[in-house]
Amino acid sequence: MKYGSIAAGNKTTVNAAMDILKDGGNAFDAAVCAVFTSMISEYTLTGACGGGVMLAYPKESEPIVFDFFVHTPKTQSVKNLDFFRIAVDFGPASQFFHIGKGSVAVPGNTIGLLHIHSRLGSLPLSRILEPAIQTAKSGAIINNAHEYLFKILDPILSHTKTGEILFKPNGKTIKAGERFKNPDFANYLEQIIVEGSNFLYHGDLTDKIDDYMKDGGLLTREDILNYEVIERTPLKTDFNGKTIITNPMPSPGGTLIAFALKIISQKFPGEKIDNRLLTLGMRLAQIARSEIISAKNRANSLSEILSPSYFKKYLDLLDYEISLKLNKEKPGSGSTTHMSIIDSQGNAASVTTTNGEGCGYIIPGTGIMMNNMLGEDDLNPDGFHNWETTKRMSTMMSPTIVIGDSGPELVLGSGGSNR
């Protein structure tokens, strides 16, 4: 491992991050570079005005979770709310998504990534953003997976004339092997180098977004100004002689991982962990998650899930689950991307980001489609526009690192909403 190891969802993303490692950058430099580059190479999966979570393992200090996921706005309703559902054709079946200006939550990706760079980065920001800027100008070569996403998400991507021009430069959906360019986004990144996150969160772009969202949206200038990145202590659990660190409360994903591993280790101590045992643990975690979502006091229910009394209920339930044949569940649609990076010095970064499916509107002059997280079924279990105001939205994102005696051994994570 001369420079480090990288796993990501697109070759362009991986190459950009590896260039940073080869240039002397650390895992956190490479991760920030990778995410900004993925905003071009994986446009439908993430964006500058989406949200995310990074689990950082600096070799010389304690691990940190950087929570820059989306936040709920101060306002829940407006006259003529621009919020509607749109069908996406998956072939055998269609799925409905909710988009519009009324689906936009307070974004965190840009300020979160820049915050991480300021805390843990080693190379200048101009060097970190160089690959993303060049990719936005010259274009990212689209792979088969992204051709498919451009096709099925076309009703969202091409909802406006601006989207039509960006995503159908020749009047047709971009195909695999062709280049997707976004010069306005390159300009945005160049402005970020000059002004930092102030450009989006305390500057001209803040006012532009505020004006644009006034017609049917909930997001305001005040919401953007008040957004803050949250640093958390990771949740730690021991499993088979390793320490596993992951995303803590209030987001449920990491807690459910710890729950599943605890189920397996207590019910099958010393046994070889195979796919069936993992599936059983995951199934019980899903059952627990469903019960928590339906509980009135959701936060307390989740905090108690690892307590002995609460936990015994699921150990007993496992005997019943073992007697059942495991049914194959259909995966949810993917609208998230993930990067795992370890550098040669022993630093590790696990980062997951998303833009939902996008709200259908692009902020003029930026090439950035805003998120539609207020229209995501998973994130709104109490119904749309029935959330607590000015609060971090819950996420199942679970960037995870497995630590052995010599340091990080596995850097894990997954993109894909319901999955």
The residues annotated with a catalytic role in the active site are 336
Cα–Cα dist 97/380, whole Å: 13
Cα–Cα dist 302/394, whole Å: 12
- What is the DSSP code string of 239-302? ETTEEEEE--TTSHHHHHHHHHHHHHHHHSTT----HHHHHHHHHHHHHHHHHHHHSSSHHHHH
Tokens of 119: 């805390």
DSSP 329: P
Cα–Cα dist 419/411, whole Å: 18
Tokens of 275: 């796919």
Q: Give helix 125-138 / helix 11-22 axis angle, nearest 10°.
A: 150
Cα–Cα dist 142/256, whole Å: 35
193 φ/ψ angles, rounded to the nearest 5 degrees: -60, -40
Report CA 65 to chain centroid distance, whole Å: 13
| Strand ranges of the sheet holding 4-7, from the earlier edge strand across to the other edge | 4-7, 336-343, 348-354, 51-57, 64-68, 230-232
DSSP 50: S
Please report, for residues 98, 384, 387, the alpha-carbon distance to residue 380 in angstroms, rounded to integers and kept in the order given. 11, 6, 7
3-state SS, one letter per residue, for 238-252: EECCEEEEECCCCCH
Regarding beta strands 362-363 and 64-68, do their DSSP bridges make them parallel or antiparallel, or are they unpaired?
Answer: unpaired
